[in-house]
Structure 1
Amino acid sequence: MTSSLYPHGSHRTPLPPAAVPADGVPSPQTRRPTAEAPAPAPAGAGRPKQRDAFFDNAKYLAIVFVAMGHSWEPLTDRSRAAEALYMVVYTFHMPAFIVISGYFSRSFDASPHRLKRLITGVAVPYVLFEVAYTLFKRTAGGDPDYPISLLDPWYLTWFLVALFVWRLTTPIWKIVRWPLPLAVLVAALASVSPEVGDDLDLQRVLQFLPFFVLGLCLKPEHFQLVRRREVRILAVPVALCALALAYWAGPRMTSAWFYHRDSAQELGAPWWAGIVMTLALFGASIVLTACFFAWVPGRRMWFTVLGAGTLYGYLLHGFLAKGSRFWGWFDAAWVHTPWGEIVVTVVAASVITVLCTPPVQRLFRFAMEPKMEWAFRKDAAELARRRHKA
């Protein structure tokens, strides 16, 4: 046997030094399992990864608040109560959604697989929906000359731009010593810098950044902390105080501060107000977001399955939210009565619920989660991992 492998005797060519194996690829020294002693299957092998019901519930409820907030906007001019609710919801609904996005971006490492997912799941939907929104505004909005510009996100597409930028910068936030204070500093500087401009909605990207970084810094035990019974009880008076404060502040301040899309100077305030409002709104948003998480159920509910389709609902409901303004749905006098406001709220929650359902996800998956295998080169390491698993 030895002579057949080495026909020229015992003088063998030295082997090259062993390289560190890639993740999932066996090294030359890896002992392969034999037929007599098969390798044990890893725990949980063959089972689909279970989704956490709490986060699916939180995403669904947050997106419902987003839709209700959009439906309340036309009512705020005539109803002080609607304005107070609008301000409270806008304080936490997007921050809560962004915190969850940051929490689930902790594993982003700029590997080829994750970059592909970022392109197909964020960049491509941005291009498609930005074009679709522009065409919708040209037709339904009566603005036939509105240009298609991928540098100027219209309406809801800003979030996809922000998510793309935030995830690309995730490795940076994971290595700096004080990521959250640094992110808050960046947001405060953006709020006093009108030179940032509107390209790619960078004001929103930078001013909402601390919530994404906060999500990166959180651990499972932090969510368990805010879901304790005493926190749930305390959340009720805190929310009521926030609602009373919003009712008082409604006529005295502009709600544009909650959009985080303009600098202080662009809102007609002195530059230092941008720093003050950045810190104040960040603190208020964190408190109300904690109150929101405290009341999110942790068990499976009838709407838990809808948590996987929240981005579908978010982007699709924008056509109805804007269409309702284009088509004058809020011009009717009954809409501005208390009963009319309740109807509008129920309709908004119902529409966003339908748009998050699995049938709608299957219908629009070509735009939201395209495979696009043809667009990428085959990754040798990934192919090796697949062969090893097989």
Structure 2
Amino acid sequence: MTAREHEYVCLCWKCCSGRDNKTEEKLPDTTGWAAFLLAEWEKTWYSSLDFRISQRKGGVLNIKTREYQYDNLRFLLIALVVLGHLLEIAGEFPHRELLYELIYSFHMPAFLFLSGMFARFDRIKWIFGMAVPYLLFQWIYTSFVEKLGDPYVHVQFSRPYWILWYLFVLAIYTLLLPIYDVPSPAGRGLMVAVSVVLALLVGFDQSIDYQWSASRIVAFQPWFLLGYYFRRADGLRVRWEGAGRTFKGIVLSLAAVCVVVLERLLFQRGITAKMMLGAYGYENLGYSWQARGLIMCCAACTIFLLVLGLAPCLKRRIPVVTTLGENTLSIYLFHGFFFHLIRLKYPWLLERPWQVFAVWAGLLLLLGNPVVGRCTGFLFGAGWYRRLPWRRAEQKKSAAKRNVPT
């Protein structure tokens, strides 16, 4: 019996017999049915899900699954984020502006939707995975860019600098989770409706800007809420998964048509990427609440296609793509340093299309590799805090009170 087969046998034996880790009874060497069991599990689960057997706090056996489709979507979105930033400072070439505005029409709403899907409040993670990284990187980024010679950037903490608005906004949304956590579908619908109305109304305030990312907190709130509620709407997802292929094909085709039509309307009306940032009032940029509504409709249709149309086709691990999707935090936090270095010192690196795509691919591969990703997650995901000796001692005491082995 192989080590992997034995792991599955142990798991099933413990689950079926109710024995815990302290049992002294030896497991039977049932090689035959172990192979059969492994084959059956491979057919139904292992091909699309990553099984990782681990222990929760208190030593309770748990099977964790890795949903590759969302890692693959994260890769797509973080790749678009980096590409959009590079296009912002790239030299002029055909269709650059078109591609830039196309990316900005949906990529941040989609990212916030995914963030909402997996949001949960953890005090330690909020402090050491959001608040501390924001303060640290706000200081590092502003100091770095100021040293490079940008006269408009100075160290401050009330205006999240550049990409750090996303981390700041996410921290605010996470704090508001107790308010968002409405059990009834009607209450959730009301919360989303109110957030949409507020997102449209905030543009009338001409004084609101980048200060504390106040405009963006309100303007992007619907996407986080939709993702948070979608993850918890089991009935809705089950009905969609159980629908026939014909029905799904028709609905997704209509959504694709809507995306094409809405994108065309955006370009015909002269809506720019700056209007899609959610950071300026209507009067400041010369657009209206109807234009923002059009932008939101376009983003909603695109997210629908990505989550319900594309994601189900990406359930398997894809070499390189899935790995990069698992390490989006390191790409997000560090690609900005290269961006500003190129912007202020080496602009010639992005003069031609092939240079843009070469730098883009290089940054993704460099910053998204597992070593950088794990180190970033350990440092800025509260991993180091949980491994402190006194923290481990607290966990052991807590487990001892519950009379559970650690």
Give the % identical residues.
26
Q: Give runs of aligned pairs for residues 103-252 of structure 1, distance below 5 A.
A: 103-105=117-119, 107-108=120-121, 114-140=122-148, 142-143=149-150, 146-175=153-182, 176-177=187-188, 178-218=190-230, 219=233, 225=240, 230=249, 240-241=260-261, 244-245=264-265, 248-249=268-269, 252=270
How many aligned positions are there?
333
Call closer, same or farther: CA 1:330–1:186 in 2, change over 3 Å. farther
Bigger radius of gyration among the two: 1
Question: Counterpart in 2 of 1:83?
Answer: 97
Deviations 1:94-122, CA, capped at 9 Å, x for gaps: 111100111111x43xxxxx111111111
**1:145 Cα deviation (Å)?**
8.0
1:152-179 Cα shifts (integer Å, max 9, x gaps): 1111100111001001111112235511
| Matched letter for residue 282 of structure 1 | M
Distance 1:242-1:327 versus aligned 2 partners, 3 A rule: farther
Q: What SS class does the counterpart of residue 50 from structure 1 fall into?
A: strand
Aligned CA RMSD, in angstroms, stands at 3.4
**1:95 equivalenced with 2:103 (yes/no):** no
Which residue in the other structure is 1:4 paired with? none
Question: Do 2:263 and 2:298's aligned partners in 1 also have CA atoms closer than 8 Å?
Answer: no
Once the two structures are superposed, what CA deviation does each residue of 1:221-255 show, in whole Å capped at 9, x if it has no partner? 75674996615656665555555555545xx3332
AA in 1 matched with 2:104: Y
Distance in 2, Cα, partners of 1:179 & 1:331 = 46
Instruction: Give the Cα–Cα distance (whole angstroms) in 2 for the partners of residues 352 and 154 of structure 1.
Output: 22
Q: Secondary structure of the residue that 1:49 maps to in structure 2?
A: strand
In structure 2, stretches of 5+ residues that fail to align are 1-16, 22-52, 54-59
| Secondary structure in 2 matching 1:150 | coil
Q: Which position in structure 2 is the counterpart of 1:16?
A: none
Counterpart pick for 2:385 among 360, 365, 372: 372
| Cα offset, 1:258, TM superposition | 0.9
In structure 2, relative to structure 1, the CA distance for the partners of 1:56 and 1:147 (3 Å cut) is same
Distance 2:206 2:348 in 1: 33
1:93 Cα deviation (Å)? 1.0
> Gapped runs of 5+ residues in structure 1?
1-37, 109-113
Question: Separation in 2 of the partners of 1:115 and 1:322?
Answer: 33
Q: Which of 287, 290, 301 is equivalent to 2:304?
A: 290
What is the CA–CA distance in structure 2 between the aligned matches of 1:66 and 1:174, rounded to whole Å?
Answer: 29
- Which of 303, 310, 332 is the matching residue for 2:328? 310
1:162-221 per-position Cα deviation (integer Å, ceiling 9, x unaligned): 001001111112235511001112212221112334321111111111100111110367
TM normalised by structure 1 equals 0.74
- Structure 1 residues 295 and 48 mapped into 2: Cα distance closer, same or farther (>3 Å)? same
**1:52 equivalent in alignment to 2:52:** no
The TM-score, its normalising length taken from structure 2, stands at 0.72
Equivalent AA in structure 2 for residue 292 of structure 1: L
Structure 1 range deviating more: 258-267 or 193-202: 193-202
- Is the deviation greater in 254-263 or in 228-237? 228-237
